[in-house]
């Protein structure tokens, strides 16, 4: 089930970049959750292109339609199908790329895996696939909100620039979605300069879930951090996932890493809110490494299907840094993983 | 299914540290794979305690028994159950820990999740659970070897010490399992010094899979890197997973990160052998962040089940750095993920 | 995953009778299978209402749209989403039924399970849900046809009338889909007479799969017959499933039931083509018991949500016997189960 | 996952007839369920051979050992592994059958599927595999009992003899496990006479679950009846499954089949306690068709691996009718399906 995620609350996304539409089926949603197309649209709009100068200038209105599973404003417990129709697709723009394997893209690997390929706008490996994730994530978020859980993500690094502050309200007010006022401005300039140079930039996005009670997540294989790692690493462009101190913990001693407990609870949170795969009741903190977008205007050497060497360059309408637009996708996958953990824990101890 | 991993080749591990035994059922293994208890034992011995001064000095012979699924030396296609009996368990040693929540351990979270807890030697959250993974991984490795794939792991960082070289044969010849002769010696000394100080050290383990052809791994949710991230993050003590350039890619530009192709194939491997979730045919490279072991001899503040503040200290028989013993576990999870991907690709394009 | 079926070739259906549409996502389909909307439409038309006097006279054009997973006439290996838009739905017709629990329908149980209910035209429990199954089944059929497998179903009993003959070509030429010329006529008359009396009739549908080689199906839990039983019993109105001699085998002795083998192969097929859950290479034969449709024009006693006793009667636009229209659904579920078994066997022994 | 059953409460059985042992891992069991080896043994003893003259005279003590997941008499929420060691296996007795395909057995199909086969005592397709089901079912039964649900099965038909009465207490007091005093005696005599003639007899077993509240079971694919059909049909020797009126409903009119409701609830139970795949709150009634055992003392024609025609006959130590011993297995599968449905419903509406 290559396009499915979740045990009880399951999503299956579908759709190619330039096909009739992309979407998702969310199965296993409890009944009685209030949801509207507007609420889902709100999250979709946060991942929409063309929001600012630091994102791609493509225009994709991306209006969601609820096809099933919602009746008179609430979920009914049946599968919720959500569809975003494609508009204004110019597949002919991609005819030139038909036989090319663009560097950093999945062109070559899809070709080797399937032997056929919808080459238009990256086809299935397009970032448009994440529309389905974000749409379903909005419903998972509604489930979590009812349980007092809040999930937010924000850009904490772009290239060499690292955010020090965590002003989460500010994060949604600047185009980079950075929670540090000073860093946000420098990041924005760095992205624009890189774009003007025809290049792109990587970064790091942090995810924060507050209000998760102790006891969510299954031990052993379905550890909460393992499920988060699966979900977050399944987002295109993500090359790493860490929880709590993550890779920094490799440099620590046990006496530094261990979160001690007193009568007031945990005194630190090096673990990032998860011990033995189960939530501790502290904030859950994860970070993902986001590679620089592969489509750049600088000409790049590559080969075509026949093995002939060619040159390829993007038309410049691509994101110079995908961090701001990965933020809602990372939130969606986190919401889906946490809402699933909530349901699983309910089954275990109602 | 909290203790299961894999789609077609599925493992379910079972067992608590001080129960009658730990083990695994491997379901979905193709018939005709030559396997013996000795072959499995070889991998188990690599994760066994007491191998050197840098590991715990506990004695656990850990002999595996094949209960089913193998007949006259080959797999029959039916579930393979593998059992390792516990010996010399002294559960009374743990009576003192019965009501304590040890810092860094899963004591508190299991208590909150289940309301009951087998407290003896960490119970289910003990590292002994990985015996089942390694035993099943040995069979997955046999499947992969027949397909020309080789999976190895080794320690590339301990505390602040980072390996520069990759002499993989040497890695199995030193107690730290480090592929860099100079670094190995310094790492060993650092671990011993930390142990003598009653503390523990974190590190980084790298996994390398060679011989994987292009086309393995499903796109979207079951990306090969997402499955690896799931499997590797499900190992206790792992706090981060990265593929290829991983977190370093956050600092790169697209023109640096993209692996260009020529007639000779890919010219670099920043992607770590996976693009769009599908193998490229290049070596697959992953790294995991390993936290310092939580059990240390230095007294630590904590609370008990009643919320009373207490002090806890380990008896000193624990691993001062778990990297050398995580190596075979990381290999096992990688073998399981890759062998599953192999079977899935066979189903798709025989 | 209440709306999913299949291990490798997985369907998830969605949609309510009077919502915007019903459909399905088929995940795990191999690439390179030639498929068109017309081919799928052909199977959908076989389950369409209004085909003859023995089916409901409702008009539902039920045009399918391929939303994803097919490019230039062949499958690409990515999820195939299929959508059938609702037209001409008159949900106001159902306002009167809003608070009623119709006898034989799922009104009461959905209400008890979910606490909310899309009451319009049976909502999710409507027979329109099977549109998604039939649409996906058409693709499974294409996979099977390429492997030389053919799946057909036909009505072998209506009320007390039992078909003796198996003229499968004729089955598609009469409105009852009965393979016995004499019985077909009597069945048709019985259905019309029952309809005119405001009542409905049950029946039995037989499924025949030819060309399945020996070796498909997993033993133990995922026996081929167990998977067929799951898939067929999941069709609304089905109250029983049997394989080969089925319930008649309860009356047999071992010496009668056992299919003996000679140099020419099996000499009989009491087993219905499956032994130990694995196909024998003989034709696979299954039968399903189909209850009489619950909607009848005869007034029936029931209660409403408040527990008040009420009377309910159908408007007469319902099927007097659902066997002819269950035929394509039973074929679809069989095709899906068999195509999945084909892929699973390919993974095991390519 | 050919040896797994269940969504949240999952079993994976393992083991061959003459291997070191057979067993099961039950994953997903809630914590705090009181369970002992004795309680499990009680159910195992009900399926044990040698209980009476109507079963096989083989001696198999079949003592169960709890390997994990139970601590101080209660489940801990972790996987429960249960092992039954083989004793007194005489694999050499089966050397003569090594190359033979016994009629009615899975010898031929396993050979065609896997290319290798543990031929000793039917290997994996032996009835001994059901030991794991019954052992795990005992725990599922404990979960259900705590919820007020009781599951019983009993023989209602042997050959042509059909039970009219349903004296369930009596069913456990006679060797046929028939709830009709008069029929039980005739059935017993019929079985013994058939055994003496070297032959075997089929039959029907009925399953009754009382105390199931309305609302269990998922609609569409995971209908409660579909899950039961899957689980029951996965038992070797079962050739048919029906719910409520089952195949008899084919002969009924809607006005007869529909269960009408009054203020006192449902007035009849033709549906067998399930509507639209969801429990109605009435008793759940299912029946399974059980074929006559394939091993008979009458010589039968068959072929060997080389295609040579041979003759085969059983040594007479086999069950002349398997109904009495399928009773606990059918109960186990029903308990597993219902306990899973209970957990799933808790997740949906705690």
Q: Give the position of tokens 């209908």.
A: D223
Q: Which chains touch B (3 or more CB pairs under 8 A)?
A: A, C, D
Q: How many CB pairs under 8 A join B and C?
A: 34
Of C246, C277, C295, the CB nearest to D240: C246
Lowest mean pLDDT across A75-79, A118-122, B258-262, C241-245: A118-122
Are the Cβ atoms of B124 and D81 closer than 8 angstroms?
no
ipTM given for this complex = 0.97
Structure tokens at D114: 């896997």
Model pTM score? 0.97
Tell whether the model's pLDDT for residue A54 goes beyond 90.
no
Mutate to test the interface with D, among C137, C203, C233 (most CBs of D within 10 A): C233
Per-residue model confidence (pLDDT) at position D316:
67
Mutate to test the interface with A, among B100, B193, B219 (most CBs of A within 10 A): B219
Cα–Cα distance between A109 and A101 in angstroms, integer?
Answer: 9
How sure is the predictor about A51, in pLDDT bands with cuts at 50, 70 and 90? confident
pLDDT in tens, A122-136: 899 999 999 999 999
C4 contact partners, CB below 8 Å, separation of at least 6: A10, A27, C10, C11, C12, D221, D222
Mutate to test the interface with A, among C2, C7, C13, C14 (most CBs of A within 10 A): C14
Residues of B in contact with D20 (CB under 8 A): 65-68
Cα–Cα distance between A224 and A268 in angstroms, integer?
Answer: 19
Classify residue B248 by burial, with Cβ atoms within 10 Å: 0-12, 13-18, 19+: middle
Of D110, D200, D349, the CB nearest to C115: D349
Per-residue model confidence (pLDDT) at position A97:
81
How sure is the predictor about A88, in pLDDT bands with cuts at 50, 70 and 90? low
Burial B156-171 (b: 16+ CB within 10 A, else e): bbbbebbbeeeeeebb
Are the Cβ atoms of D3 and B113 closer than 8 angstroms?
no
Q: How many CB pairs under 8 A join A and B?
A: 369
Per-residue model confidence (pLDDT) at position B214:
98
How sure is the predictor about B51, in pLDDT bands with cuts at 50, 70 and 90? confident
Are the Cβ atoms of D1 and C222 closer than 8 angstroms?
yes
Residues of A in contact with B110 (CB under 8 A): 219, 276, 278
pLDDT in tens, A144-166: 999 999 999 999 999 999 999 99
Are the Cβ atoms of B68 and D19 closer than 8 angstroms?
yes
Please state the φ and ψ torsions of residue B101, each to the nearest 5 degrees: -105, 100
Q: CA dist D61 to B129, D44, D47, D204, D316, Å?
A: 30, 10, 11, 27, 20
Per-residue model confidence (pLDDT) at position A24:
98
Mean pLDDT of C283-287: 98
Nearest chain A alpha carbon to B292: A254
Neighbours of C280 (CB within 10 A): 28
DSSP helix/strand/coil, B327 = helix
Tell whether the model's pLDDT for residue B201 goes beyond 60.
yes
Kind of pairing between the strands at C278-279 and C274-275? antiparallel
Q: Which chains touch A (3 or more CB pairs under 8 A)?
A: B, C, D
Tell whether the model's pLDDT for residue C91 goes beyond 80.
no
Per-residue model confidence (pLDDT) at position C262:
96
pLDDT in tens, D67-113: 999 999 999 999 999 999 998 656 566 777 889 999 999 999 999 99
Of C106, C247, C272, the CB nearest to D247: C247
Tell whether the model's pLDDT for residue A90 goes beyond 60.
yes
Helix, strand, coil percentages for chain A (3-state, nearest 5)? 35, 25, 45
pLDDT in tens, A262-284: 999 999 999 999 999 999 999 99
Chain-centre distance for alpha carbon A330: 3
Nearest chain D alpha carbon to C272: D239
Q: CA dist D217 to A30, D127, D275, Å?
A: 14, 29, 10
Tell whether the model's pLDDT for residue B91 goes beyond 60.
no
Cα–Cα distance between C286 and C205 in angstroms, integer?
Answer: 8
Q: Give the position of tokens 């050992």.
A: D65
Collect all residues from C whose CB is shorter than 8 A from any CB in A: 1-4, 10, 12-16, 19-23, 25, 27-28, 31-32, 65-69, 71-72, 74-81, 83, 113-118, 123-124
Are the Cβ atoms of C343 and B343 closer than 8 angstroms?
no
Tell whether the model's pLDDT for residue C226 goes beyond 60.
yes
Collect all residues from B whose CB is shorter than 8 A from any CB in C: 8, 30-31, 77-78, 219-220, 343-344, 346-350
Q: Are A335 and A208 in contact (CB under 8 A)?
A: no
Of C78, C219, C343, the CB nearest to B347: C343
Nearest chain A alpha carbon to B320: A254
Per-residue model confidence (pLDDT) at position C53:
81
Per-residue model confidence (pLDDT) at position C2:
81
More confident residue, A66 or D56: A66
Tell whether the model's pLDDT for residue B155 goes beyond 70.
yes
Mean pLDDT of A12-27: 96
**DSSP character string of B117-141:** ---GGGGGGSGGGHHHHHHHHHHHH
Of D8, D219, D220, the CB nearest to A347: D8
Per-residue model confidence (pLDDT) at position B318:
87
Are the Cβ atoms of C349 and B31 closer than 8 angstroms?
yes
Cα–Cα distance between D127 and A118 in angstroms, integer?
Answer: 50
Of D79, D80, D116, the CB nearest to B71: D116
Residues of B in contact with D114 (CB under 8 A): 31-32, 76-77
Q: CA dist D253 to C205, C291, D243, Å?
A: 16, 8, 17
Are the Cβ atoms of D12 and B3 closer than 8 angstroms?
no
Residues of C in contact with D298 (CB under 8 A): 254-255
Tell whether the model's pLDDT for residue B50 goes beyond 80.
no
pLDDT in tens, B266-278: 999 999 999 999 9
**Cα distance from D320 to chain C (closest Cα, Å)?**
9
Lowest mean pLDDT across B60-69, C95-104, C111-120, C325-334: C95-104
Per-residue model confidence (pLDDT) at position B129:
96
How sure is the predictor about B37, in pLDDT bands with cuts at 50, 70 and 90? very high
Of B2, B27, B32, the CB nearest to D28: B2
Per-residue model confidence (pLDDT) at position B93:
67
Tell whether the model's pLDDT for residue A233 goes beyond 90.
yes
Which contacts of C187-191 are long-range, i.e. CB under 8 A and separated by 24 or more positions?
Answer: C187/C155, C187/C158, C187/C159, C187/C161, C188/C53, C188/C54, C190/C158, C190/C159, C190/C161, C191/C54, C191/C158, C191/C320, C191/C321
**Cα distance from A261 to chain B (closest Cα, Å)?**
5
Are the Cβ atoms of C20 and A123 closer than 8 angstroms?
no
**DSSP character string of D25-90:** EEESPPTT-B--HHHHHHHHHHH-TTSSTTS--------EEE-SSEETTEE-SS-EEEEEE--S--
Nearest chain A alpha carbon to B101: A261
Nearest chain A alpha carbon to D75: A348
Per-residue model confidence (pLDDT) at position B121:
87
Per-residue model confidence (pLDDT) at position B92:
65
Nearest chain C alpha carbon to B348: C30
Per-residue pLDDT of chain D (350 residues; tens, 9 = 90+): 588 999 999 999 999 999 999 999 999 999 999 999 999 999 999 988 877 888 877 777 899 999 999 999 999 999 999 999 998 656 566 777 889 999 999 999 999 999 998 988 889 999 999 999 999 999 999 999 999 999 999 999 999 999 999 999 999 999 999 999 999 999 999 999 999 999 999 999 999 999 999 999 999 999 999 999 999 999 999 999 999 999 999 999 999 999 999 999 999 999 999 999 999 999 999 999 999 999 999 999 999 999 999 999 987 678 999 999 999 999 999 999 999 999 999 999 88
pLDDT in tens, C159-204: 999 999 999 999 999 999 999 999 999 999 999 999 999 999 999 9
Mutate to test the interface with C, among B74, B223, B348 (most CBs of C within 10 A): B348
How sure is the predictor about C93, in pLDDT bands with cuts at 50, 70 and 90? low
Residues of D in contact with A219 (CB under 8 A): 78
Nearest chain A alpha carbon to D78: A219
Per-residue model confidence (pLDDT) at position B53:
81
pLDDT in tens, A202-217: 999 999 999 999 999 9
**Cα distance from B38 to chain A (closest Cα, Å)?**
26
Collect all residues from D whose CB is shorter than 8 A from any CB in A: 8, 30-31, 77-78, 219-220, 343-344, 346-350
Cα–Cα distance between B6 and B2 in angstroms, integer?
Answer: 12
Nearest chain A alpha carbon to D342: A347
For A302, the enclosing helix (H) or strand (E) is: strand A300-303
**Cα distance from B159 to chain D (closest Cα, Å)?**
34
Tell whether the model's pLDDT for residue A167 goes beyond 90.
yes
Cα–Cα distance between C17 and C326 in angstroms, integer?
Answer: 17
DSSP classification of residue B173: T
């Amino acid at each position: 089930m290559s396009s499915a995620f979740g045990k009880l609350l399951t999503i299956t996304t579908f759709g190619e970049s330039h096909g009739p539409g992309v979407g998702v089926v969310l199965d296993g949603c409890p009944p009685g959750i209030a949801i509207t197309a507007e609420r889902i649209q709100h999250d979709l709009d946060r991942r929409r292109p063309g929001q600012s100068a630091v994102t791609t200038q493509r225009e994709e209105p991306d209006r969601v339609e609820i096809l099933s599973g919602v009746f008179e404003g609430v979920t009914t417990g049946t599968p919720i199908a959500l569809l975003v129709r494609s508009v204004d697709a110019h597949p002919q723009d991609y005819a030139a790329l038909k036989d090319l394997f663009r560097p950093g893209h999945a062109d070559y690997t899809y070709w080797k895996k399937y032997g056929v390929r919808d080459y238009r706008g990256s086809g299935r490996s397009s970032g448009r696939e994440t529309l389905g994730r974000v749409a379903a994530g909005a419903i998972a978020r509604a489930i979590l909100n009812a349980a007092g859980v809040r999930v937010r993500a924000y850009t904490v690094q772009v290239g060499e620039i690292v955010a020090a502050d965590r002003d989460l309200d500010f994060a949604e007010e600047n185009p980079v979605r950075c929670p540090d006022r000073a860093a946000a401005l420098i990041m924005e300039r760095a992205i624009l300069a890189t774009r003007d140079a025809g290049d792109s930039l990587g970064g790091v996005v942090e995810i924060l879930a507050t209000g998760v009670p102790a006891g969510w997540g299954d031990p052993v294989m379905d550890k909460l951090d393992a499920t988060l790692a699966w979900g977050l690493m399944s987002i295109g462009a993500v090359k790493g996932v860490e929880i709590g101190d993550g890779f920094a913990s490799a440099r620590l001693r046990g006496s530094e890493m261990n979160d001690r407990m007193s009568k007031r609870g945990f005194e630190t949170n090096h673990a990032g809110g998860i011990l033995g795969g189960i939530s501790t009741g502290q904030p859950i903190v994860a970070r993902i490494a986001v590679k620089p977008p592969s489509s750049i205007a600088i000409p790049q050497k590559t080969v075509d299907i026949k093995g002939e060497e060619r040159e390829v360059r993007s038309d410049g309408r691509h994101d110079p840094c995908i961090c701001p637009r990965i933020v809602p996708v990372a939130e969606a996958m986190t919401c889906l993983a946490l809402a699933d953990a909530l349901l699983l824990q309910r089954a275990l101890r109602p």
